[in-house]
Amino acid sequence: MVKVSIIMPVYNGSKFIKTSIESVLSQTMNDIEIICVDDGSEDNSLDLLKEYESKHECIRVFSQENQGSGKARNYGMDEAQGEYIGFIDADDIFVDKDSLELLYKKAVENDADIVSGNLKKMTQDRKLIDNPNCVEGNYYCFDRDCVITPEEYGVPWAFYKNLYKKSFMDENDIRFRDLIRGQDPVFMADALSKVDKVYGVKTDFYAYMFPVPGKPYLKVNNSLKKLHYTKHYKDTFDIYENAGMYGASEKYKPKLIKYFNYSIKEDDLEIFEIAMNLFGSTNDYFVNFQEDFDKFKIHHILNKIDIKSTEEYYTYAKEEISKIDIATNSKLTNNHIRKLLVVLNSETYEDYRYNSTVRKNNMLAKKNERLAKDLEKTKKLNQELENSSSWKITEPLRKIMDKFRS
C-alpha cells in the first residue's frame, strides 16, 4: 500500500496538466501514486497523461466518457490504493514542497480521518497571492498546527486542501454526488459530519485558480446547473442538521441568501421556482434569515403577477403575500412596498391592473414634473451666464474658437 493517492480529474486540461503533475512529483514525499481520470477530454489531455504514465511508475491513467469531475473523482477513489487520499485539479498546484509529507505525518501520528493545510489563491496569470477566504473568515486558516472541531472548519469549501483516510471514506461511503454544480461542499460537509476533529498543519498545501472576479455565478448558466447549485445548499444543510451541526449549517446559509439576492438583481424567476420546489414557501431553514427569504419570495411573486396575468395567479399571490410579515421587514425596498400596497388594496386582478396603471402614471407625472423643474433651473442658469460680464468679455474669443472648429 502506498502512503497517499492523489486523484486528478481531467477535462480539456492540456494547458496546465504538466504544471499540475510536476507540482505533485516535486513533493518531498515519494511514496505516492497519482491517479489521473480523463473525463472524455476533446483536446490532447489523454495523450499527455499517457506520456506521463509511460515515464513515471507512480502515475496511473484511466478514462471515462464525459460525466463530470465528481464521477471522475469517485472513479479515482475506487481505484486508489493509498492509505490516505488527496485531490488536485488539472489547473491547480501543490505549493510548499514538503506540504504533502507534513500532512501525512500529522495524519499518521494522530490516526486522523481528516488533516488540513492552507490554501493560496492563484490568479489567471498563475501568480500566487493570499487567500481572501482567510480574511473573510469563510473557513479556518492555520497559523499554527492545531486541532479544530468540524464546525470550526467553517463553510464546507476547499476539500482539496485536505487529506482523507481511505478506510474512513470507504466505510462511510463518502463520495461526490451527481451534481453538475455544488458537488464539492456537499462532499466536504458529508466528510466533516462523520468526524469529531480535524487536524491542521501550518503549511501552504494547495493553490487554486479562482474564477474571474466580478462575474458571480458565471458557471451557473442553465436550468440544470441552477437546479443543482440550489440543491447543493439544501443537501449541505440537511447533512449538517441531521448530524446536529446547526452552527455549521447556519454559517453556510448566507451564501445561499447571496444567491437569492443575485436572482432579485437579475429578475431570475427560474431560481425562485427552483427554490420554492426544493424548500417550499414556508420552512425552517431560514429562521435566522427570515427577512431575506421573505424579500426573495415577495420580489418574485410580485414580478410573476405581471408575467402570469391571470386572476387565478393573482388570487394565489395575494394569499402567499398575506402569510408574510411585511410590516416589520427592513429588507424590502420602497419599490417593493409601493407595489405591495397596490396588490393589497386591489380586490381583483383587473383592479390591480388599473391601480398599477394609475401608480405608474403618477410616478411618470412626478418624474416629468421633476424634469420640468430641472429644465427651468438650467434655463435660468444659462440666462444668468449670458448676462454676466465675464461672458460678454470672452465673446470675441468664443467667436474665434467657433470659427476654428468649423
**Pair (200, 341) in one structural domain:** no
**Domain end marker among 158, 186, 209:** 209
Q: What is the pLDDT along the chain (406 residues), one digit of tens a residue?
A: 899 999 999 999 999 999 999 999 999 998 999 999 999 999 999 999 999 999 999 999 999 999 999 999 999 999 999 999 999 999 999 999 999 999 999 999 999 999 999 999 998 888 999 999 998 999 999 999 999 999 999 999 999 999 999 999 999 999 999 999 999 999 999 999 999 999 999 999 999 987 666 567 888 999 999 999 999 999 999 999 999 999 999 999 999 999 999 999 999 999 999 999 999 988 999 999 999 999 999 999 999 999 999 999 999 999 999 999 999 999 999 999 989 988 888 999 998 888 887 655 554 445 455 655 665 666 566 666 566 666 556 666 556 556 555 5
pLDDT at 1: 83
pLDDT at 363: 47
pLDDT at 202: 98
Residue 402 within any structural domain of the chain: yes
pLDDT at 399: 62
pLDDT at 364: 44
Q: Give the helix ranges, DSSP H, for 267-348.
A: 269-279, 290-308, 311-322, 334-344
CB-based contact 195:150 (threshold 8 Å): yes
Model pTM? 0.86
Q: Residue 235 has which C-alpha cell?
A: 443537501
Q: Report which residue type is found at 406.
A: S
Residue 30 within any structural domain of the chain: yes
In whole angstroms, give the CA distance from residue 263 to residue 257. 10
**Domain end marker among 180, 209, 238:** 209
**How many structural domains compose the chain?**
2
**Pair (313, 168) in one structural domain:** no
Closest by CA position to 340, among listed 289, 293, 305: 305
Strand partners, 84: 4, 165
**Pair (19, 161) in one structural domain:** yes
**Domain end marker among 158, 175, 209:** 209
pLDDT at 236: 98
**Pair (160, 297) in one structural domain:** no
**Pair (324, 180) in one structural domain:** no
**Pair (20, 140) in one structural domain:** yes
Range of the domain at 70: 4-209
Closest by CA position to 276, among listed 211, 319, 320: 320
Residue 221 within any structural domain of the chain: no
